[in-house]
Each structure stands twice: as structure tokens, then as C-alpha cells.
Structure 1
Amino acid sequence: YPHEFSGGMRQRAMIAMALSCHPKLLIADEPTTALDVTIQAQIMELMQKIRDETGTSIILITHDLGVVANLADRVAVMYAGKIVEQGSARDIFYRAAHPYTAALLRSLPTVETSRSE
């Protein structure tokens, strides 16, 4: 029964169902939300494998910038329902042009950030 599967198994089953008709485009809306870190990594590896082996394009909708950094070639940043910036992942992460994008990136924790911040 589906309710007996773990979150990661349910997510894998949903990906398998989506791929069963061999789409050229997969839309993944928050594919790693509410999964533990190891399962998140497995789902991301699976999506990379799908992309690389089948040539399927993936539109990844997520709030997790770590997921974006690991999987995305191109990034579009939305604010108030509109795309405010788009470009290569490298350009977005290293040369953000829009203030909202810059604020998102500043919100990421770093090793240098103290625990009190």
C-alpha cells in the first residue's frame, strides 16, 4: 500500500510514474521537500541520471538553493509571482543582478556565519 512507503520511496514512485511515458520534459515541484538529507541526495542523483541518460529536460521548482546549485544549468528567480532574474546557475550564484536574488543568496548559511546570526 502506498501509505506504507517512506517519503523517499513515494518520491521515487512518482518519478517512475512520470517517466513511464518517456517525456521530453519533467516538471519537478519541490521534489526533495520533507525528505531527510540522505534521501534528498539520492533523489537528486536519480534526477541527474535521468537527465544525463535520457536527455529529458527538467524544470525544477524549489526553494532549496542547494538543490538548485547541484542540478540546475539555468536558473530563473521569481519574486511576487514574476521572474526577476534569469541566467546560468554560475551567473546567478556569483553575479546576482537583482536585489531579491542577492538577498536570497546572502540568507544562505556559511561557515563564517556565527550561530547567533
Structure 2
Amino acid sequence: MPSSRTTPDPRPGDERTTDLIRWGAFSCVLVPVVLLWCGASLAGAAGTALGLAAVTAVCRLLLRQSERGAARLLEEEHAPQAHHRGRHQRTATGSHRGGRHSGGNSPVG
């Protein structure tokens, strides 16, 4: 009997992020095993495992945060809003700073 609950369609980045995190977790196990096999100390292999686990956790956190930010931007693009000028779209005096300028005090020669 089919379920009455509908599951949301996965976003395109979800699968890639999940695969990346799985590979990170796999490396957290594989690298210490290989180190032990090659003759490294148990403490060194354990320290490496903890370090890789910490890096994997931080990367996961940053990837999820990036996905939420991208989803928020997509939502804002598709949401109807009144037109407003952002920070980089000024029309006031001095809005064209920073580019190349002809003339002025440049030396000739």
C-alpha cells in the first residue's frame, strides 16, 4: 500500500554533499587502518582519525550552511519584491569610484 506522505524532491546539491560526506567518513576509517598496517603507532593513528573527523565535521557544517544560503538566494530571486537599489547600484555622487580615469595628473611619456 503506497504511503500517503509525499517526500520533497531532493535538491541537486543534496546528493553530491551526502556523497562527499560519506567519502570523508570513509577516509576517517581507512587512513588510520592503513597507518596501522604500515607500522604507525596506535596513538598516531587515533590522532589522525580524530583530526580527519574534525575536518570532515567542519566541512559538513560549511557545506550545509552554503546550501542554505544558496536556497535562500534562489528563493529571493523568485519571490516578488518591489524594485530597490542595492548597495552596489548607487546613483549618488561618487558612485563611479575605483575605475581607470583618463586625464588628471598622470605623467606623459
Name the TM tier (shorter chain): under 0.3
TM-score norm. by structure 1 comes to 0.22
Q: By percentage of residues, which structure has more strand?
A: 1
For the pair shown, which has the larger CA radius of gyration, 1 or 2? 2
TM-score norm. by structure 2 comes to 0.24
